[in-house]
Structure formats: structure tokens, C-alpha cells
Structure 1
Amino acid sequence: MLRVAIQVKELISSNVTSALDSMSSSAKMLHQLQREIEEAIIALEGERTKTERNLKRLKATLTQNEMREADWGDKAKAAMDHDREDLARQALMAREDCREAIASGKDDIAKAKADLKEIDEAVKELEAKREETREQAKAQSAADADKSGCSDAGASTAEKRLNRVSQMEKRTEFATEDTASARTNASVDREIDEMRRASTVDAELAALKGGAKKAPAKRARKKA
């Protein structure tokens, strides 16, 4: 997605716009731009298909993790009913893993939906640019037909622009912003998360243990 996004931004923000605004753009360059736009649209359609498949898989995985979360909670209660605190603790830890997977899955689903929206918007904009470029290429071809020839300077300018069009993967800085600080704080985040997980499990174990102790007392009163 990143490579295609860079190409789309390059096409929309500089190459196509500058070419369409220039009265000296040759028909050859405009046809080249049209082909570049069409290739970008095809690439985006491929990204759309992959993103839609990934979104479907993420939703299925989320449903499975939600079912596992409920199942591990039931198993923890069953283990405490049989005075197996060790098994109950393991079940609760497994449930916490499911909860983390659920939260991560929801984030991934939201990102996939945002990617699909971005792809749709980019395709619409590129389609408009493609039509605009195609019309100007026709007009330029007609204008070129009325001329006796082109100057060497004009040909050189067109070739330079064509070279710039082919260099469309140069803007990658935006994808790496703020990554250094995120890596620095990663270990601290993990340790704090582990402490929170342990506190949650300990609290629920204590609650389950209290419930398990009350149950035999009730049964004893019934026998009496």
C-alpha cells in the first residue's frame, strides 16, 4: 500500500498538475502521463482486492477470539469450583491474551476500512486526472499537427519531464516519522501492560476464590 500511495501522491500533487498547467507540454509527455495514471489505477484496484480479503479474514479472526475469551472465562470458574487455583490462573491469563488479540484485531479492522476509503478516493481522483490528461493530449496532438516542427529546446524539456515522471518512489519520509521514540518506549509499555494483566488476573482469582468458599457452606446448610 505504501508504494502505491507514494505513486498516487506523486502523480496527483506534482507531475500531472504541472503538466496540465503547462502550455508547452508535448502530446508524447501527456500520453506518458496517461499511461502512468492508468498503471496507478490498476495497482490501486489490486490493493483494494487484497485489502478486502484481509478485512474479511480479520473479521473472522475477531469472532473466533471473542468466542475463545468467553470460553476461557467459563473454564476459570470451573477450575475454581474444583479448588484448582493454578488452572484458573492459567485460564484467566489465556483469556487476557484473547482480549489483547481482540483489541488488536479491532484496530486492524479499522485500519483496513480506512485504507479502503483512501483507495476509493485516490481512484476517483486519478480517474478525473486521467480524463483531463486524455483530453489535453488530444488537443495537443491537434496543435502539434499544425506546427512545422519542434525546437530542440522543447524536445529536451519534454524528455526531462518524462524522466521526472519515471522517478515516482522518492517520497518515503512521511512513513517513518516518530518511529524512533516509539521504539524507545516499547519495552516500558510492555512491562506496564504485563503488570496490569497480572493485577487483573489476581483480582479475579480472589473473587473466584471467595465464591468457591461460599458454595460448600451453602451445601452444608442444606444437608443439615
Structure 2
Amino acid sequence: MLRILGRAASINVRKVLWACAEMNIGFEREDWGAGFKPTALPEFLALNPNAMVPVIQDGDFTLWESNSIIRYLATRDGQSALYPAEARARARVDQWIDWQASDLNRSWSYAFMSLVRQSPAHQDGQALAAGLAQWSNYMQILDQQLEATGAYVAGDAFSLADIPIGLSVHRWFATPFAHPPLPAVTAYYERLSERPGFRLHGRNGTP
């Protein structure tokens, strides 16, 4: 049985939970992180020296980094519909997974801490405005891509890339501010909401 370490409210843990739902992978989850067992404990650091969730244990194999985990699970289980074996098709999926981590994920950082977490250290009005502008710019890039495909981020079929991107889209709509109109993103959000795994682990009230 796959073992997942991390609190269910974490957006990165939810990537793994949603991926397991899509691939019908059974798992046991343990609460680690904010509000639960601290990741600074030696027993956790022995698994992930970064003290971050999620971590998985698959038998004697331990892995951290959420995007690496979902790629591993799809490859392990031969999920070619989610993660194609053909080089160009896989590269397109990887491109959007990496874009979510390197660009989109960073763009929302200040706004999320300010508006959702209500962090006292993130209440500078100019910094918030700049953060929202940057976030909106990346979401417009996503809107253009979804308008081009007419369906999902890497093409006309749901893929592994839609898991991190879909959770990012949920965070966009769950953060309280005046959102610019992004019709393709809105339609995508509703399309994803037809999937039980997204309703359970994505559009579930947690930003």
C-alpha cells in the first residue's frame, strides 16, 4: 500500500491525492506539516531533508517533490493516457507541469499570503498590486493556451499536467480579489469539476 505523508489541506499533497484518484491507486495517508506532526522531526528529515510535504513511500522506495511523485506514479502504473510515452507528447505535458512549478506557482505567492493567509508580513499595498498583476499575466497565458486547445492544458485530452494546473486554477478562483475575465480558464475549471478526483481533492473548499 502506498504511504503518503502530508496534510490533506496542502496544495502539493492534493496533487498526489488527485493523481491517485485518477489512477485508482490505493494509499494510506498520515498527517504531517502545519498543525500536525512537525516535519522538522528527525524521522521525517530522514525521508526528506527539505522538511516539506508530500513524501511517499512505495515499499522500500521513498520520494519527495509533488510533481516528481505524480510522474513516478503514472510511469509506474503505465498510465500512458495521462503521461504519454511518445517523446513530444510527454514533453508537452512536462512543459506545463514545470511551468506551473517555476512560473505560475511563484506568481501567486505574495497575493496568497496576503489575501488568504492574512500574513502580517504581506500587507504592503504596492507589493500586493504587483503580485496580483504578475499572477494575472500568467493566468492570461494559461487562458490563451486553453482557448487554443479548446479542452485541456496539453491538448484535447486530460493529462497529468492538468493536476497541478487545475489546483492552481482553483487557488486563483478561491483567492478573494477582482479577477479579470478569463473565459477559457473559467470553462476549464467547470470541465475539471466534472471529475470526481478534482471535486474531492481540488474544488473542495481549500484554496
What interval of TM-score do these two structures reach, taking the shorter chain for normalisation?
A: under 0.3
- Structure-2-length-normalised TM-score: 0.25
- Structure-1-length-normalised TM-score: 0.24
Structure number with higher helix proportion: 1
Structure number with higher strand proportion: 2
Larger Rg: 1
Q: 1 or 2 for the larger relative contact order (CA 8 Å, sep ≥6)?
A: 1
